[in-house]
Amino acid sequence: MSAPEPRNNPDLLGHQAAEALCAEAMRSARMHHAWLITGPEGIGKATLAFRFARRLLAGAPEGPSLALDAANKVFRRVAAGAHADLLTIERAWDDKRKRQRSEIVVDDVRKVTDFLRLTPAEGGWRVVIVDGAEELNRNAANALLKVLEEPPPRAVLLLTCAAPGRLLPTIRSRCRRLRLSPLPDADMERLLAAYLPDLDADARARLVTLAEGSPGRALLLAEEEGLALSQLVDQVLGALPALPASRAHVIADTLGRGEGAFSTFMDLLRAAISSAVRDVLRGRGDPEQERLVALRPLDAWGETWHALTRLQDETERFSLDKRQALVAGLGLLSPTRTGSSVTGNP
C-alpha cells in the first residue's frame, strides 16, 4: 500500500497544532490571504495545503481538525482536480524533453492572475495552491509577488516550500508562515506500518531513522532501495580515509545507470555526514561517527557537505553525467591525496 497523493489523502498525522491554527483562522473574520507552509521534503506540506483548501471550499470546521469525509462532494472534486474554485500550480511537464520542468515559469503563474479575476463559481472562496514555491524562477516569482501585493477579496494562496530561503524576501513578508516540524518516531512507525505492512520491523525502524521525521522521504527510500543504498553509504564512510579508486569507480558505474539511485545515494551521504557532525558536537556520537568526524576539522566537513550539495544540484539541474559526478563526489570525501585513493578538493 502506497501513500495517497496529497490532493486525495484524507489523513494528516503529527501536525495537529498547525491544523488547529488553520481551523481557527477560518472561523475568524481576519483570514490572511496568503500562507507559506514550510518544512522538510515529504513531511506533509502539500497534504496540509489540500486539506486546508478542501475545508475552505466546504465550510469552516467547528473544531480544531480540518478533516473532511472522503465521500464529501468537495473532497471528491478536489481529488479529481475538478473543483472550479481551486487552482494548483507546480512544475509542469515539458513535452519536448519528456520530463518535468526544473522550475515553475511565468506562464504558469499567469494562470493565477486569470483565475483570480473570475467570480467564485460557488460563491465562496477561491484557492490557489503553489506546490514547491522554491522552484519559481525569477520572472514567475515577480509575477506571483504582484498577486500577493493586490489580492482580490475571498481569495487565499497557499504556498508550500521546502527551502524558503530561495523565495524572494518580499514574497515571504506577505505570507503568514506555518512551519511543519518532523514527525515523532511513534507517528512515523504508525504510518510506515500502514503503508509498508510487508516490511519487517527492523527495516521499518531503519527507515524511520533515515527519514528523520519525513514520511514522504521514508516511502521514497523504500521505493528506491534506500535501505541498500544506506548500507553502501556506511561502507563508503567506513573505508575512509583511504577509499580505493577502483571501489569508487565500481560504485559510480553501478549507481550512475539508475534513474533515482544517484539522488538517493547523494542525499543519504550528505545526511550521514551532517548527522555524524551534529551528534558528535552534542556528545551523542557513536564510535564510528567519532572516528569519521576526527578525520578532518569541523569547518572542512562543512565545506565538504556544501561541495557535495552543489555537485548534486548542478548534476540534477543540468542533466550532467551522473557517473562522473559520483566519482567527483567520492573524491571529495578523501582528506588526503594519494595515488591509490580518490581525491578532490573539499
Bridge-based pairing of strands 93-94 and 99-100 is antiparallel
Q: Model-level pTM?
A: 0.84
Q: Label residue 343 by pLDDT band (50, 70, 90).
A: very low
Residues 92-113: pLDDT tens digits? 877 777 677 889 999 999 999 9
Burial grade of 238 (CB within 10 A; 0-12, 13-18, 19 or more): exposed
178-197 confidence digits (pLDDT tens):
999 999 999 999 999 999 99
What are the cell numbers at 22? 488553520
331, 308 contact by CB (below 8 A): no
Annotate 109-131 with DSSP letters as a single string: HHHHHHHHHSPPTTSS-EEEEEE
Give strand pairing partners of 155: 126
- Is residue 24 predicted with pLDDT exceeding 90? yes
Q: Distance between alpha carbon 41 and the CA centroid of its chain, in Å?
A: 2
Q: Mind listing the pLDDT tens digit for each residue in 245-286?
A: 889 999 999 898 777 899 999 999 999 999 999 999 999 999
- pLDDT by residue (tens digit) across 197-250? 999 999 999 999 999 999 999 999 998 889 999 999 999 999 999 888 889 999
CA distances from 136 to 76, 167, 176, 241 (A): 29, 8, 19, 40
Q: What is the pLDDT of residue 345?
A: 36
Fold of 6-179: Rossmann fold (3.40.50)
What is the spatial distance between Cα 273 and Cα 289, in angstroms, rounded to a whole number?
9
Domain ranges of the chain: 6-179, 224-331
- Report DSSP letters for 34-83, one per residue: EEEEE-STTSSHHHHHHHHHHHHHH---SSS-----TTSHHHHHHHTT--
pLDDT digits over 162-182, tens only?
999 999 999 999 999 999 999
